[in-house]
């Protein structure tokens, strides 16, 4: 199977974990917007925070076959 995958252009690779880099300007703009929202919100409204990242997404990088040169 290994020889077949190599003939088809696949290679066995280990992925690298690349940490996300924060954008200080975007964070500062968000904090300013958040402060304005907090000032303008009415008492009957609440502010909720949510994170779009799944806690199980790419937790452990897996080894595997990928095809290169598509």
5-29 pLDDT, tens digit per residue, is 888 888 887 777 766 777 899 999 9
What is d(CA 7, CA 47) in angstroms, rounded to the nearest whole number?
56
21-58 pLDDT, tens digit per residue, is 778 999 999 999 999 988 888 888 888 887 665 555 55
What is d(CA 63, CA 14) in angstroms, rounded to the nearest whole number?
5
For the entire predicted model, the pTM comes to 0.43
What is d(CA 15, CA 62) in angstroms, rounded to the nearest whole number?
7
């Amino acid at each position: 199977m290994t020889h077949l995958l190599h003939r088809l252009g696949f290679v066995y690779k280990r992925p690298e974990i690349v940490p996300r880099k924060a954008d200080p300007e975007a964070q500062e703009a968000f904090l300013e917007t958040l402060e304005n929202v907090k000032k303008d919100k009415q008492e009957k409204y609440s502010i909720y925070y949510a994170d779009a990242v799944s806690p199980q997404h790419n937790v452990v990088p897996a080894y595997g076959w990928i095809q290169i040169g598509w």
